[in-house]
Amino acid sequence: MENLILPRFLKYVCYDTQSDSSVDKTPTTAGQWDLAETLRDELLALGLKDVKLNDNCYLIARLPASEGKESEPCIGFLAHLDTASDVSGKNVKPQLVKNYNGEKISLANGLFLDPAKEQGLTDQKGKTIVHSDGTTLLGADNKAGIAEIMGAVEYLITNPQIKHGQVEIIFTPDEETGKGLPEFPLDEIKSVYCYTVDGGPMGEIECECFNAYKANIEFSGKVIHIGHARGILANAALMASTFAALLPRSESPEATDGYYGYFCPMAISGDLENASLEVFLRDFDTDGMKRRIAALDAFAKTVEAQFPNGKVTVNTQAQYFNMKAKIDEKPDALTRLIKASHNAGVEYQLKPIRGGTDGSRLTELGIPTPNIFTGGRNFHSRMEWISVTEMCAACKVIIQIICS
C-alpha cells in the first residue's frame, strides 16, 4: 500500500497551491491548476475515461462499477487542492524519515518535533514519517487526502477481482478560504453520499463541525490635525484596536477546545480615517452563534460610545454550517464508514471538527459527507508531520468503504 501512496504524496506537496481569500475568482491562485492538471493526467493514465477538469478547477472523475454492481449507489471521495496561507507553502521540502528512532527531530528556525510533546509521535518509532523542514508547511492538509484517494483508485484498478459500485473522485480548489465550494458543479455530482479525506490522526471520524461566520467590521473616524484633536478626532485605527481588545480572551482559539467556540481576529488594518477588522466566529450550536453575532453588535455600540465622532459597521456572512443534523437524517454514510473502519482493523473514535471541510458545505447541499482521517498532525504550521502507516490505514478504510 505504501508504494501507492508515499511517492504521490512526496510529489504533490512540492506543488505550490496556497489559496488566497482576498481573491474573488475560483480558483484564487494559479498553482492549484498545476496540481489539478497533473491529477487529471494521472487519472487518465490509470485508464479512467470519465474525467473532467472544469473552468473553475473542479476535477471530477468516475471509476466505473464492476460488472453486476451497476445498480449500487455511487459513492464519492473528496479532497482539496489548496493549502492554507497561514504559513508559506512555496518550495516545500518534505523530509522522509524511515525507521524513526523515537528522538527529537530538529527543524529549521530553531524548531523541533519533540516526542514528549507531540501526540502520536512516540507511536511512530521504527516506522516511516514525513515532516516539513521548518521553513514551510508540509501540505498534508490536504495532499495526504489526495494521495490516499489516488492510491485507493489505483489499487482497485489493478485488482479487478475486487467488486464495487461506481466511485466518484472529486478534487476541489480553495477549501482553505472558507468560501464553501464556490462555483461547485452540484448538478454533475452522482454520489448519493460522499467522504472528505481531510482529517488528522488515525481512527478519527468526524461528522459534526463548527457553524462558521465571518465578520467584516468597518470603522469610520473623523480626522483633524492631531495638534488640535481634543474633542474632535475619532481615530479609526484606535477604534479597530479597541474593538479587537473587547473580544473575550477566554473565547479565543488558543483558550478553547472540544465543543467550545470562539472569536478570532484574523486581520486588522487602517489609519486615522478608516480602518477594518476581520473576525471569524465559530460555534457548534446555532444559539451560541446568535450570541456571538449579538456580541459583536454590542461591542460596536461600546466603541461608538467611546469615540462619539466615529461609526462602526458590522457585516456578518455565513461560511458553513454544522453538518451533524443532516448526517443524522441520512446515517448510511456514517454507518458504512464505521463498518469499513472495523473491517480495515482501525479503531475509530467520533470527534467534532474544530473547523470545517468541503464536506460541511456538500452536506448542506444534500449529500451527507463525513470526514476520514489522513494521519497528519500540526496542520497549517512549520511543524507539520504525517505518519505513513496511518496514511496506509486511511487508504485501506477508503477501499473498504467502496467494497462493503
Length of the chain: 404
Amino acid letter for position 204: E
What is the pairing mode between strands 129-131 and 50-53?
unpaired
Contact predicate 366/76, CB 8 Å: no
Cell of 196: 472528505
Indicate the DSSP class of residue 254. Answer: G
Of 82, 154, 206, 208, the catalytic one is 82
Contact predicate 45/157, CB 8 Å: no
Q: What does the alpha-carbon distance between residue 149 and residue 156 come to, in Å, rounded to a whole number?
A: 11
Nearest to 144 by CA among 394, 381, 350: 394
Q: What does the alpha-carbon distance between residue 89 and residue 18 come to, in Å, rounded to a whole number?
A: 6
- What angle do helix axes 140-158 and 31-45 make, rounded to 10 degrees? 10
Amino acid letter for position 151: G
Contact predicate 323/194, CB 8 Å: no
Q: What does the alpha-carbon distance between residue 192 and residue 205 come to, in Å, rounded to a whole number?
A: 19
148 carries an active-site annotation: no
206 carries an active-site annotation: no
Of 16, 175, 218, 283, the catalytic one is 175
Which residues, other chains included, contact 314 with Cβ-Cβ below 8 Å and sequence gap of 6+? Answer: 215, 216, 217, 296, 297, 300
Question: 158 phi and psi, to 5 degrees?
Answer: -85, -5
Amino acid letter for position 278: E
Please tell me whether residue 8 adopts helix, strand or coil conformation: helix
Residues marked as catalytic:
82, 175
